[in-house]
Chain A
Amino acid sequence: MLKVIAACGSGMGSSQIIKMKLEKVFKKLGYQAEIYHTNVGDAKSQANNYDVVFCSESLVGTFTGSKATVIGLKNLLSEAEMTEKIEAANLPK
């Protein structure tokens, strides 16, 4: 089970959209993933307990030094971009 955080500035808009999209994409790629959505502050403090963090590109810098893989997204609505970045990151199944 892959442990995933979807993060945005507030934890109530973009991060939920990322979560909805990721659920679809992970399923399609054959991953079992547990996705938690929250704001960046909370995500930062919890990131080390997760395998991977997804957020808007503009928030990637917030996670410097984190043990989790951090994936920044340019287009939060693009399943193609998510698929490509998940494949490139070679996440464990």
Chain B
Amino acid sequence: MFKELVEKKHYSFHEGFDDWRDAVRAACQPLLDDGTIEKEYPEIIIGKVEELGPYIVIAPNICIPHAERGRGVNDTAMCFMKTEKPVSFDPNDPDKDARIFVVLAATDDEVHLNNLMQLSETLSDEAVVEKLLQAKTAEDLKAVEG
């Protein structure tokens, strides 16, 4: 999965972000660059989180920015981002800090469901998460199994 993301240039590495909104925008940037999504997509995600709270942080350290299908999305894809410093979504809840981001974009249900299944299996493996947290370059990311 990560090898494929590197090949598609769907990844980025960053030091950190003071505002989670900027982290979501940066995580989406590679998908914006190749036309997978439109500029409005990260803003839709941000709007949903502002309305509902950080439901996109699905586990400690792990955030999957996504919004409803159809708006601002041209293709089905995933995109990886890692930050060295944790990004805070809720100053009162450190469990909602994240360093691993996987943006989800979907137009095709079947492909999307396969992506999600693979993603949830992969990120359920603590050894994989640990390797992702250590990764600093595309080469490191490629070497992570799953």
A residues at B contact (CB < 8 Å)? 8-14, 16-17, 20-21, 39-40, 55-56, 58-59, 62, 74-79
Cα distance, A16 to B117, chains bound together (Å): 9
Q: Which of B51, B52, B54, B56 is most buried by chain A, counting CB atoms within 10 A of its CB?
A: B52
Residues A13 and B64 in contact, CB atoms below 8 Å apart: yes
Residues A58 and B120 in contact, CB atoms below 8 Å apart: no
Q: List 10 A-B contacts (CB under 8 A).
A: A10-B68, A13-B116, A17-B119, A39-B68, A56-B53, A59-B53, A76-B59, A77-B58, A77-B123, A79-B124
Residues A9 and B59 in contact, CB atoms below 8 Å apart: no
List 20 additional A-B contacts (Cβ < 8 Å) besides A14-B66, A39-B68, A58-B52: A8-B55, A9-B48, A9-B52, A9-B56, A9-B67, A12-B66, A12-B104, A12-B106, A13-B116, A17-B120, A20-B117, A21-B120, A56-B53, A58-B53, A58-B55, A58-B90, A62-B52, A77-B59, A77-B123, A78-B59
- The residue on A at minimum CB distance from B52 is A9
Known: A21-B120, A39-B68. A13 touches B104 (CB 8 A): yes
Cα distance, A8 to B57, chains bound together (Å): 11
Residues B52 and A75 in contact, CB atoms below 8 Å apart: no
In the complex, chain B residues whose CB is within 8 Å of the CB of A13 = 56, 64, 66, 104, 116
Cα distance, A83 to B43, chains bound together (Å): 35
Which of B51, B58, B69, B116 lies in contact with A75, CB distance below 8 A?
Answer: B58
Task: List residues of B (104-138) whose CB comes within 8 Å of A's CBs.
Answer: 104, 106, 112-113, 116-117, 119-120, 123-124
